[in-house]
């Protein structure tokens, strides 16, 4: 007998989180929730908004009679070990499993559907997590915040998290109409809390106008081109956006002589001993940010935050693998030995928010992500997950060799020495310091060559400036 498919999702966990998820689903679809599942005997047999709360035994019975398309694990307090075990059990009876972020990564008791994560991510790797105390968020409530690159993976997540906290509007700048359109039309985002501005980070008049009109005192600088292979083919855009865009942002802020502004520059581990155009451009951006330490006339406070790979972000290799696995297409990997640091979007945003509230000035922050993970191992685990549902699933993997600018493994800092902050797993690192005048001359040289459309010469100037970092890596 062919099984029928149940209509609506099953929510595992009938606590506060599960009820909030239920409310959000019911707003969109009155028949969107089939039932709750919970271990608490006091809850079993009761109802929430006419939806039954059943036991795990009931769930097994349902799975024998019906096909279960989706289960949402709504238990933010669950630890990673229990979460993985629960996922393994539920994966045997449901076609797809989702989960809320762990409580240690979550910044508010409010939940929206954008917080749902594929449990495949939860299963594939485990990372260190951290929780920020309420004081970090309380101090942000009255800040006038600008987020550049607000429509990107990190930028949009910052918009979501900060709009929950701030009592004022979050100013969202992006040069992509599509990204801003997605923010504007996201029903889970409080539109009254955000102001969307379409514009380029290199538009000095626009940036100054935003800072003045909105009285900005905190900037999360997320605007950057970040795809390594694209930038190898388009170095001009990397320099103009990643380097000169950062220069323009700093100069625009600095034009307000009596105004104290804090900038959090979001960077990447590819800036450490850079071998790619992406790495070179982001490393120079880091140096330019910290260079203002030597400017006695500036009241700016700038810090760098350096990420590894953000798991599941737009255009990430993990999303590419998922698409290929689901479509059955051949998968290409550069090398089976490539290793990368990974962190979740929640962790990345927590790191950025934490850095913005630290008293340190002109520092570089990193997060303890443990050991780098072999990409090939992640791929094999993803394929194994697919085979849990489709036993005969086969897919071809082709090793193509490293592309220009790529490394076998990355580093999070130039020095192995890390310094503790007040938050577990967040550290500062002391990075190479460059001469103030030499850095300013570098900026002028880059500008003049870009005006003359001489990108190759600009890149050579950058490589010469960073010769000791590049040479040491080699």
By CB atoms closer than 10 A (0-12, 13-18, 19+), residue 74 is buried
Q: In terms of C-beta distances under 8 Å and separation of at least 24 residues, what long-range contacts does 23-32 make, across chains too?
A: 23/49, 24/111, 24/112, 24/113, 24/188, 25/113, 28/187, 31/7, 32/8
CA angle 394, 398, 404 (to 5 degrees): 150
Backbone angles phi, psi at 47, to 5 degrees: -130, 155
Distance in angstroms (rounded) separating the CA atoms of residues 101 and 119: 10
* Among 192, 201, 205, CA closest to 219: 201
CB 175 within 8 A of CB 237: no
User: DSSP states of 49-102 as a string?
Assistant: TTEEEE-HHHHHHHHHHEEEEEEEE--TT--HHHHHHHHHHHHTTEEEEEEPPP
Q: Which residues are paired to 304 by β-bridges?
A: 265, 364
* Tokens 């190479």, residue located: 432
Give the end-to-end CA distance of the chain in Å, rounded to a whole number: 64
Question: CA 348, CA 153: separation in Å to the nearest integer?
Answer: 10
Q: Distances from the Cα of 17 to the Cαs of 72, 76, 93, 385, in angstroms?
A: 11, 7, 23, 27
Active site residue 270: yes
Residue 289: both structure tokens together: 């940010």
Closest CA to 431 of 421, 441, 418, 420: 418
Instruction: Give the whole-angstrom CA distance, residue 49 versus residue 23.
Output: 9
The dihedral formed by the CA atoms of 374, 375, 381 and 382, expressed in degrees to the nearest 10: 160
Nearest residue to 36 (alpha-carbon basis) of 16, 102, 188, 27: 16
270, 282, 292, 363: the catalytic one is 270
Give the catalytic positions in this structure: 270
């Amino acid at each position: 007998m062919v099984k029928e498919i149940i209509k609506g999702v099953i929510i595992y966990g009938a606590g506060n989180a599960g009820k909030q998820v239920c409310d959000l689903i019911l707003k969109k679809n009155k028949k969107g929730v089939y039932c709750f599942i919970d271990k608490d005997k006091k809850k079993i047999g009761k109802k929430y908004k006419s939806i039954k709360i059943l036991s795990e035994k009931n769930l097994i019975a349902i799975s024998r009679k019906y096909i279960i398309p989706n289960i949402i694990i709504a238990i933010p307090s669950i630890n990673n070990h229990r979460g993985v075990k629960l996922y393994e059990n539920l994966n045997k009876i449901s076609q797809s499993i989702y989960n809320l972020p762990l409580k240690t990564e979550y910044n508010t008791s409010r939940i929206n559907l954008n917080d749902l994560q594929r449990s495949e991510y939860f299963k594939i790797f485990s990372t260190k997590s951290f929780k920020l105390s309420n004081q970090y968020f309380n101090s942000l409530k009255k800040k006038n915040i600008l987020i550049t690159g607000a429509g990107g993976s990190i930028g949009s997540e910052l918009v979501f998290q900060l709009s929950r906290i701030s009592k004022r509007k979050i100013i969202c700048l992006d040069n992509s109409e599509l990204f801003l359109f997605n923010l504007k039309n996201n029903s889970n985002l409080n539109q009254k809390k955000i102001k969307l501005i379409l514009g380029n980070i290199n538009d000095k008049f626009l940036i100054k106008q935003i800072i003045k009109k909105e009285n900005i005192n905190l900037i999360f600088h997320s605007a950057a081109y970040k795809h390594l292979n694209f930038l190898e083919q388009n170095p001009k855009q990397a320099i103009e956006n990643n380097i000169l865009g950062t220069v323009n942002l700093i100069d625009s802020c600095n034009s307000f002589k009596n105004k104290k502004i804090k900038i959090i520059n979001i960077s990447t581990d590819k800036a450490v001993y850079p071998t790619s155009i992406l790495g070179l451009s982001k490393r120079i951006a880091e140096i330019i940010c910290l260079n203002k330490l030597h400017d006695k006339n500036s009241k700016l406070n700038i810090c760098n935050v350096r990420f590894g790979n953000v798991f599941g972000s737009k255009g990430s290799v993990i999303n590419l693998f998922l698409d290929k696995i689901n479509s059955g297409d051949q998968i290409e990997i550069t090398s089976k030995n490539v290793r990368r640091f990974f962190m979740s979007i929640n962790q990345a945003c927590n790191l950025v928010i934490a850095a913005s509230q630290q008293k340190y000035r002109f520092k570089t922050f990193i997060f303890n992500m443990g050991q780098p993970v072999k990409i090939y191992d992640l791929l094999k685990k993803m394929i194994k997950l697919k085979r849990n549902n489709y036993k005969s699933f086969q897919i071809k993997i082709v090793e193509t060799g490293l592309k220009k600018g790529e490394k076998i493994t990355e580093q999070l800092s130039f020095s192995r020495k890390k310094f503790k902050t007040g938050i577990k797993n967040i550290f500062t690192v002391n990075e190479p310091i460059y001469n103030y005048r030499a850095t300013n001359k570098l900026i002028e040289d880059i500008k003049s060559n870009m005006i003359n459309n001489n990108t190759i010469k600009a890149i050579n100037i950058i490589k010469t400036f960073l010769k000791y970092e590049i040479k040491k890596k080699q």
